[in-house]
Amino acid sequence: MEGLLGLGLVGLFIGCFLAATVIPFSAEILLVGALLAGCHPLATFCVATVGNSLGSLTSYFMGYLGKWEWIEKWFHVSREKLEKQKGKIDKYGPYLAMLCWLPFIGDVFAIGLGFYRLNFKKCLLFIFLGKALRFGVWTILYVLYGQKFLDMVM
């Protein structure tokens, strides 16, 4: 992850994108690392939100294609796991996309939304909103308390 932070906002974008797809790590750590490195909070928030949203949309499209070999190989999601989520997907539809930021199960939701071919525009909107809320909270916490926390630690 240090290598990604060395690339600035481009590294943040790549890291946040990958964190929402095939590599399981925390995009929040990258966001906070970029803020600590001096990146502008609004730019950091926007780049992290877009990168992570596009990562979830990649999962959505992998589900939409429905090729089990790809889904199982790259996302480690079994058919049984996806079928377990069908009830939630049927019940909540695209609103479930707001939870695509959740660790582990968020990828399953994104893949399921695509697999069951829920409305792309609505899924896009709610994926983006969920990611924006997530990164917005972290950015605001950093802006309000980041320097105070660093002063206490140092």
CA distance 127 to 99: 7
- Domain around 54: 2-153
**What's the sign of the alpha-carbon dihedral 22, 23, 24, 27?**
negative
| Nearest C-alpha neighbor of 134 from the set 63, 64, 49 | 49
pLDDT tens digit sequence for 35-71: 988 899 999 999 999 999 999 999 999 889 987 787 7
Spatial neighbors of 41 by CB under 8 A, at least 6 apart, are: 35, 139, 142, 143
Number of domains into which the chain is organized? 1
pLDDT tens digit sequence for 63-122: 899 877 877 777 777 778 777 778 888 888 899 999 998 887 888 889 889 999 999 999
| Nearest C-alpha neighbor of 129 from the set 59, 64, 52, 58 | 52
